[in-house]
Amino acid sequence: MRALVCGVLGQDGAYLARLLLNKGYDVWGTSRRVSHSSLDNLNYLNIQHQVHLLTMNANDDANVREVVAKSQPDELYWLSGQSSVGRSFQQPHDTVHGGVLGLLNVLEAVRLLNPLARVFNASSGEIFGDLGDRLAEELSPLQAASPYAAAKVATHALIQSYRLGFGLFASNGILFNHESPLRPHSFVTRKIVAAAARARDTGEMLSLGRLDIARDWGWAPDYVESMWLTLQHDRPDDFVIATGQAHALTDFVAQAYAFFDLDWHDHVRSDPSLFRPSDRTFSAGSPDKAARDLGWRSRHQMPDVVRMMCEAEQILLTTTSPQRGA
């Protein structure tokens, strides 16, 4: 079996590539400019020499077709695009244009050149509206509260349209928050863990936005397994991928600082200038359909995620290797 992972150098792409390699796949991966891209995540997982890397400008339909023709994938995973909700407010055009047009070009290339290939799209829990304290399900109402969410709503719909209109095996994995040591420092979870690890020696203060939010945090290696299982299903479909449990951001912060024997109240403050224009207080998803149809459930909950990220960060502090995810 051959797989093409678009966005292979990111957190999810790297973990997915490792999973597929362990299953015996011939793994191809794309980046916008391979020669100028960081291979840190692949190096971290020690798979940098096992993935066939291709440069692909997803906004160039001819280039996308060339990559699909060369790689001839049985399975294609679309994990590309700008991945930060916060950054999408500063870069709305790039966020929407790159994510939506890129997937459209990929779907067209598959339809025209390799229509039997199975396509997975990394959708997001950000597509849902404010559900209060209810868990989001596959048919919960959609409401985009950020440019990032708008792009994800559009790509989610594109997958469904190519599934229903063209008969492609095209599926959405509606991914809620999932973390790992491969997260860049621009993500709040990695920012918290890295600051906590340094604070014992530096005493530094960490400024965050709203502290009164609750999120459904899982472990990225668990979530990439759901991607693979989605394409092994007997029919294309959409699945919420989540732990089913929401935790307060203050709980995440408290556990991270406690790992380093610190009281977070002494090191963390809320800065209103960091508040997003729109931010739901509560966000969590129900994994029941994925459990029933795919046999998937997250093996790790938020406390496990915090502990494993802190353990990895602690190792970084005791080595001279470059910082991961910087």
- Tell me, what CATH number does 134's domain have? 3.40.50.720
Rounded to 5°, angle at Cα 229 from 110 and 54: 40
Q: For residues 142 and 66, give the distance between their C-alpha atoms in angstroms, rounded to a whole number.
A: 34
Do residue 196 and residue 231 come from a single domain?
no
Q: For residues 288 and 138, give the distance between their C-alpha atoms in angstroms, rounded to a whole number.
A: 10
Do residue 162 and residue 308 come from a single domain?
no
Please identify every residue annotated as catalytic. Answer: 124, 126, 148
Q: Is residue 161 part of a domain?
A: yes
Cβ partners under 8 Å of residue 266, min gap 6: none
Q: Is residue 290 part of a domain?
A: no
Structure tokens at 326: 């910087």
Which amino acid is present at 180?
S
Do residue 118 and residue 137 come from a single domain?
yes
Counting the structural domains of the chain, the total is 2
Cβ partners under 8 Å of residue 239, min gap 6: 138, 171, 172, 173, 174, 226, 230, 289, 290, 293, 294, 296
Do residue 75 and residue 193 come from a single domain?
no
Structure tokens at 214: 């609750």
Do residue 69 and residue 99 come from a single domain?
yes
Do residue 78 and residue 168 come from a single domain?
yes
Do residue 235 and residue 99 come from a single domain?
yes
Do residue 265 and residue 164 come from a single domain?
no
Q: Residue 114 sits in which domain range?
A: 2-178+219-241
Q: Is residue 294 part of a domain?
A: no
What does the pLDDT profile of the chain (326 residues) look like in tens digits? 999 999 999 999 999 999 999 999 999 999 987 766 789 999 999 999 999 999 999 999 999 999 999 999 999 999 998 877 888 888 888 889 889 999 999 999 999 999 999 999 999 999 997 889 999 999 999 999 899 999 999 999 999 999 999 999 999 999 999 999 999 999 999 999 999 999 989 999 999 999 999 999 999 999 999 999 999 999 999 999 999 999 999 999 999 999 999 999 999 999 999 998 777 899 999 999 999 999 999 999 999 999 999 999 999 988 844 444 44
Do residue 155 and residue 206 come from a single domain?
no
pTM, whole model, 2 decimals? Answer: 0.95
How remote is the C-alpha of 93 from its chain's centroid?
20
Do residue 155 and residue 116 come from a single domain?
yes
